Amino acid sequence: MYRIPFDRVNWTTSIFLISTALIALIGVPIYLVNFGIDWFQFGMFFFYATATTMSITLGYHRLFSHLSFKAKRPVKFFTLVFGACAFENSCLDWSADHRLHHKHVDHDDDPYDISKGFMWAHIGWLMFKLKPEPPMNNVNDLKKDKLVMWQYKYVHWIGLFVGLMLPAAIAYLVNPVWHYALGGFLLAGILRVVVVQHCTFFINSLCHTIGRRPYNTDNTARDSAIMAIFTCGEGYHNYHHAFQHDYRNGVKPWQFDPTKWMIWLLSKIGMASNLRKVSDEKILLAEMREARRQADKMVAMEPETPLCDKATELFHNFSTRLSDSYQELEQAISDKVEVSRKAMAQWQKETRELVKHISFMRRQAKTSA
C-alpha cells in the first residue's frame, strides 16, 4: 500500500497550491454566478495574466536562467516584480532549479524529472522536499545582481501586495463596493495565479510527454504548438533543449512566440541587447541529424517491416541524399563557409521529405502489423 511521506511534505507550498486551486475551482464560479464579470475585471485579469506569464518567460527563464540577452534595469525590475506575482518562488530559486533541469534532464538530479511520473514533473516536486536539497551554487552570477537579491529577500511580500492586494484595491477604486473588490482579488488575483502556474507547470510535464522532437531525441523534451499559445511561446520545448541559450523558442517564422517578439522589440528601443541566436545552418544541421537518426532506426527495423519495394527504395534514396547533404553542411559550418540560400532551401526540403517519408513508413508498418 502506498504511503504518503509526510516527513517530506513541503507544507507551506502544498497548502498554498491546494487552497488557491480550490478557491479557483469553487469560489470563483460562486462569485461569477452571484455577481458576474464586466469588461474592466476581464481586462485586469488579462493584464495580470499576460504580465506575470511574460515575466516568467522573458524574465525568469530567458533573461536570468539562460542569459539569452541583456536587459536594462526597468525591464529587470518589471519582470522581477510581476514574476513574484506568479508565486513561482524567487527568480534566484527558479533559475537554480531550471539550470539543474537542463544539466540533468530526465535523470535523478533533475528537479522535475519526468521519469518520476507526470504528476511529479507537474507539481509533485514542489509539494515534496527533495533530499538532499540541491545546492544553489549554479547561480553565483545572479547573486551579484542587486535587483535579483532584492526580489529574493522580499519575493513573498511583493507577490502578496502587488499580485493579490493591488488588484482588489484597483477594483475598489473603480467601483467602491465590497463585492467588486472581492472580484479583483479572486479573478486578477487567485484565478490568474492558478492559471499562470499550471501553464508553466505543463511545460515541465506535458511538454516532456506529448509532441514532436524534430531537433533531438536524446531527451524527452517535445514541441507543442498548443502549449506555446498558453505560455507566450514556451511550448517549443524540444528546440529549447537543443539550443537553450537562443532567445527564441519558436524559431520558425510561423511559430507563435510573443516572448521572442517582445525581446526583439525591447532591443529596438534600447531596453535589451546582446540577443543570442543560433545560426540557421546549425538549426538545419540539428534537424538533418535527427532525421538521419530516425532513418537509421527505420533501416534497422526494415527486416521486421513488410513494406513495398517502391516505398523502401524511395526511403533509401531520401536517406542517402540527406546523408550527403548533412556531411556537406557540417563541413561548411566547420570551415565557416557561407552557405547559399538556395542550398539551405534544398536541404530543408530534403529533410522535410525524409521526415514525411519516415512517418509514412511507420504508418504502413502499423497497418501491416
What would the pLDDT profile of 221-244 be if each residue is shown by its tens digit? 999 999 999 999 999 999 999 999
Would 198 be classed as within a structural domain?
Answer: yes
Query: Do 294 and 255 reside in the same domain of the chain?
Result: no
Domain that residue 95 falls in: 6-273
Query: Do 113 and 52 reside in the same domain of the chain?
Result: yes
Would 222 be classed as within a structural domain?
Answer: yes
% residues pLDDT > 90 (the chain): 67
Which three cell numbers, joined as nine digits, stand for 268? 529596438
Of 244, 273, 302, which residue sits at a domain end? 273
Query: Do 243 and 310 reside in the same domain of the chain?
Result: no
Would 110 be classed as within a structural domain?
Answer: yes
272 φ, ψ (degrees, to nearest 5): -145, 155
Of 208, 240, 273, which residue sits at a domain end? 273
Alpha carbon of 40 to those of 9, 91, 167, 196: distances in Å?
39, 30, 11, 20
Of 273, 289, 311, which residue sits at a domain end? 273
pLDDT tens string 248-285: 999 998 999 999 999 999 999 999 999 999 988 888 87
Which three cell numbers, joined as nine digits, stand for 206? 506535458
Would 85 be classed as within a structural domain?
Answer: yes
Would 1 be classed as within a structural domain?
Answer: no
Would 100 be classed as within a structural domain?
Answer: yes
Query: Do 284 and 269 reside in the same domain of the chain?
Result: no
71 three-state secondary structure: strand
Would 20 be classed as within a structural domain?
Answer: yes
* Three-class SS of 31-83: HHHHHCCCHHHHHHHHHHHHHHHHHHHHHHHHHHHCCCCEECHHHHHHHHHHH
pLDDT tens track of the chain, all 369 residues?
456 677 788 999 999 999 999 999 999 999 999 999 999 999 999 999 999 999 999 999 999 999 999 999 999 999 999 999 999 999 999 999 999 999 999 999 999 999 999 999 999 999 998 767 777 899 999 999 999 999 999 999 999 999 999 999 999 999 999 999 999 999 999 999 999 999 999 999 999 999 989 898 899 999 999 999 999 999 999 999 999 999 999 999 899 999 999 999 999 999 999 999 998 888 887 887 787 777 666 655 655 555 555 555 555 555 565 555 556 566 666 656 566 666 666 656 666 666 665 666 556 655 555
Q: How many domains does the chain have?
A: 2
9 φ, ψ (degrees, to nearest 5): -70, 130
DSSP string, 99-151: HHHHHTTTSTTSTT-GGG-HHIIIIIHHHB--SSPPP-TT-HHHHT-HHHHHH
Query: Do 246 and 297 reside in the same domain of the chain?
Result: no
What predicted TM-score, i.e. pTM, was given to this entire model? 0.86
CB of 358 closer than 8 Å to CB of 291: yes
CB of 188 closer than 8 Å to CB of 167: yes
Query: Do 146 and 65 reside in the same domain of the chain?
Result: yes
Beta-ladder partners of 212: 223
Query: Do 227 and 320 reside in the same domain of the chain?
Result: no
